[in-house]
Structure formats: structure tokens, C-alpha cells
Amino acid sequence: MRRVSLLGNKFTGLDHQPDSRSIDVIIVNAAGVSRAYYKDAFDPNTKRFPTCWSSDTQRPAPEVPDGQKQSARCMDCANNIRGSGDGQGRACRFSQRLAIVEERALDTVYQLQVPATSIFGKAVGRSSMPLQAYAKFLSGHGTPSAAVVTRISFDAASAVPKLFFYPQRPLEEQELILVREIVDADDTLAAIAFDIAPHNREGSPFTATEGFTIAN
């Protein structure tokens, strides 16, 4: 699976937009918001697996071993309290996985994992929208996210990776045809699947994510 890294407040891992502060992509599919708690400290040189995780942000996933579950419900968990993590953050962090393709290369799917700081919150002008605000903006204009080129950029005022989303242009008809063919392709579904949990292939979770729709 090709993944886009946000380390150092720059995008790395894309073939045609290396080491960029902003990228132009098409969001072809998306998982719902999930969350994960890591007991050990982050080490960029070590692949870690969550201690506890939830695919619906309500309860630990069924696949979490009983000895690792931090609470029966996420809302009651000590790791859900603000300040339990770094600064005022939660130790159990929200994230959302997107399947994206570059504007100039529609045949290669990448996974972009969007952190909590980039999902929630209010828009600061039309060019500075977090993910949920962007989804609602597109929905309000009757525009599927898979039908537009989206510019994703870093918030220059934030010390930690924080992304903003903005529509650049509608796709042309030939581009739409190509994108529709990969919405539910194996690489696309793999990009939005939670790495720990089994992969559910029954339909597109993109249609169930608030504000996101797929073009017919």
C-alpha cells in the first residue's frame, strides 16, 4: 500500500508531488472516523500497532484482545479525556483514512491518514477548511468529492501537521470515467481499510461518511 507521510509538515511519498507543502488530488473514497490508543511512545523508525482501537469511535473493535481493551465504551475511557495525551489532546486519537489519486496520475492510489486536528473544527475562510467542514461544503453545493480536484495544504501556523482542504476545479468527463472505475477497486478499498481489523468489502463506506458522496 502506497502511503503519504505528513512528517515534518510536508507531503512525502507521492510520485509527482514530492516533498510538497500542498498537493492536488482527487479523494476517491474514504473510511469513517476511527480512533486508536498506543501505549508506547511514538518512534518514527518502528512500526507500531495500537493497544486498543475502535472503527466506530463508540466501542473497542471486536478484534481487540480483552486484555488490551481500555474501556467497554470509548466515552467512558480515561484515554478519551482531554489532557490524557500530549498537551490538551486525547491519548486515544481520532483519524480518518482517505484513498486519493494525484491529479496527474489517476492510476495510482495512495492512503492519506488524516489526523484529528485536520478532521474537526470550523472553516477559516473557504481556503482553510478541515475535512468535515470541506465535506459539508461540497455536499451543500451538490458536488461529490470524487468529482473535483482537491488541494490539501498544511496550516503554516500549526507546529503539528494540520491540513486544510479546498476545491480546485471540477474533473473533466474523461477524468470522471477513470475515477469511477477505481472507487471500489482493490487498491482503493485497501487504502481505507483499518490495518488491524478485517477488511469489509460490502459496499463503499464512502457513501456512509457524512458529507461525502460518489458521483454516479
Which three three-digit cell numbers place residue 37? 490508543
- pTM for the full model? 0.84
Tell me the pLDDT tens digit for each residue of 72-123.
999 999 999 999 988 788 999 999 999 999 999 999 999 999 999 999 988 8
Q: Which pLDDT does position 213 carry in this prediction?
A: 52
The average confidence (pLDDT) of the chain is 87
What residues contact 37, with CB distance under 8 A and at least 6 apart?
Answer: 50, 51, 52, 53, 70, 77, 79, 91, 92, 93
pLDDT confidence of 46, banded at 50, 70, 90? Answer: confident
pLDDT confidence of 30, banded at 50, 70, 90? Answer: very high
Residue 126: pLDDT over 80: no
Q: Partners of 99 in the beta sheet?
A: 29, 111
Q: Which pLDDT does position 201 carry in this prediction?
A: 37
Residue 41: pLDDT over 90: no
Mean pLDDT of 128-137: 94
Higher pLDDT, residue 5 or 195: 5
Residue 211: pLDDT over 60: no
Residue 136: pLDDT over 70: yes
C-alpha span between 67 and 60 (Å, rounded): 12
Mean pLDDT of 168-192: 95
Other beta carbons less than 10 A from residue 166's beta carbon: 20
C-alpha span between 128 and 31 (Å, rounded): 22
For the ranges 66-70, 91-95, 211-215, which has the lowest average pLDDT? 211-215
Mean pLDDT of 188-215: 57
